[in-house]
Amino acid sequence: MTYRRAVIPALVGSLLITLLLWWAGASAQALQLRGTSSVFDAQSASELRRWLAPWSYDPPAELLSDGAGSGGPAPSGGTQYADLYSTAMQIRFLAVFAFFLAGALLLLRRMPPAQGRTPATLLALWAWGPVAGTLAVTVSAPWLIASRGHGSYRFLPQLAGVIASSGPVVVFAALSTALLTVLVARVTAKGAEPLPRQSVPPRAARLAASAGTVVIALSLVVLSYQSVAAWIQTSSGGGGLLSEPGDLLREWLLLGGWTGPATSPLGDWLLYRTADVLLLAVVWWALRLLPGLLTRTTVPATVVGAICATVLGLLASQLLHMTMDDTVDVWGPVYLFSRLGEGVPAAVTCGVAAGLATFVTLRLAGGRKADDLPG
């Protein structure tokens, strides 16, 4: 699909996900109304506020006081903190529009929803939504931290907390966005020259998928093991503003967390490990199909495809965890989705590495012809 045909659905999708997230953030105030208690219990309402808070444009009440919650009334100081918060949200919504637009444009151009690619394009766009949200939250984080009035205190742990806060709402917004984007893309693709799926040697595709999956397994199996994760969090020292990078490293490197079966029955331990196996299986299968789905195997397309494959694996494992969750009766049905979308920052890091490994292995194995150079 040419850029001229891809830009319209990409713009529509970017605008829709931005509006959906803005609407979700604007709805956060409604959860504080008196009638909310008749619809949601207190725990569910609190959890929903946590989901929507990262996208709420209205500054928290504590920002209107001096020192961002120090308790002393000082309207001028409170106004400055509120202005910083507004700036952070403006950057956040502009960034989510720009990041989704860039990813959707690349995916629609290299994986147009035609000739059997429609399901793959839909899933890739759905997975790219949480990535765009995470990147937007990351870009706007310094302004948000500064608006709290203590940006110089444990800055990196604060940054990690903000990055991890995009919430399940982005996953739901991305699903609706992906559906509409694909529908518009199918309309704009009518009349274009057919782009049949290209043949890839099965052995080369399997080797490339295995190389990429090994990278994901390194994070999921090795780095996410409890003792290794603890070492990552505590090994780095330093001082000043950039001290205590452990939380930030875990956020961008670890796809999960696990320990040996000593703390739980072996059967339960094996049951929860099936979610990790499912994640790796989804990643391998997606990377196996990726070269044949792309109209041209380039480095950017392979890397973005690998990121989307990793996010899809995360979502699949989290959905499996939901079926094993027995705390719904205690915490309420909203908590069933509370983990949805976790681990996306690590999926970006590991997805980039897995995409590069997949591309290099595919080229070395002779999976595509020499005219498919990066570009």
- Least confident segment among 63-72, 75-84, 129-138, 356-365: 63-72
Is residue 92 within 8 Å of 63, Cβ to Cβ? no
State the pLDDT at residue 64: 54
What's the pLDDT band for 120 if we cut at 50, 70, 90? very high
Task: Kindly tell me if the per-residue pLDDT of 71 is higher than 60.
Answer: no
Task: Kindly tell me if the per-residue pLDDT of 75 is higher than 60.
Answer: no
Task: Kindly tell me if the per-residue pLDDT of 55 is higher than 70.
Answer: yes
C-alpha span between 87 and 105 (Å, rounded): 27
N-term to C-term CA, the chain: 15
Percentage of residues in the chain having pLDDT higher than 70:
84
Between these two residues, 182 and 78, which has the higher pLDDT value? 182
How confident is the prediction for the chain on average, in pLDDT? 86
> Average of pLDDT values for 35-59?
78
State the pLDDT at residue 329: 64
The type of residue at 244 is: E
In terms of phi and psi (left: phi > 0; alpha: psi -120 to 50; beta: otherwise), the region of 193 is beta
State the pLDDT at residue 275: 93
> Average of pLDDT values for 176-197?
84
> Average of pLDDT values for 64-77?
46
C-alpha span between 244 and 59 (Å, rounded): 28
State the pLDDT at residue 30: 75
State the pLDDT at residue 200: 83
Task: Kindly tell me if the per-residue pLDDT of 367 is higher than 70.
Answer: no
Nearest Cα neighbor of 217 from 267, 280, 154 is 280
- Least confident segment among 114-118, 178-182, 298-302, 330-334: 330-334
For 69, 78, 155, 242, the CA distances from 146, given in Å and listed in that order, are: 13, 12, 10, 15
Task: Kindly tell me if the per-residue pLDDT of 277 is higher than 50.
Answer: yes
Number of other residues whose CB lies within 10 A of the CB of residue 239: 7
- Least confident segment among 54-63, 169-178, 334-343: 54-63
Give me the torsion for CA of 342, 346, 348, 353, rounded to 10°.
-150
Task: Kindly tell me if the per-residue pLDDT of 189 is higher than 50.
Answer: yes
Give me the torsion for CA of 70, 71, 75, 79, rounded to 10°.
40
pTM of the full structure:
0.91
What's the pLDDT band for 370 if we cut at 50, 70, 90? very low
State the pLDDT at residue 62: 63
Between these two residues, 213 and 261, which has the higher pLDDT value? 213
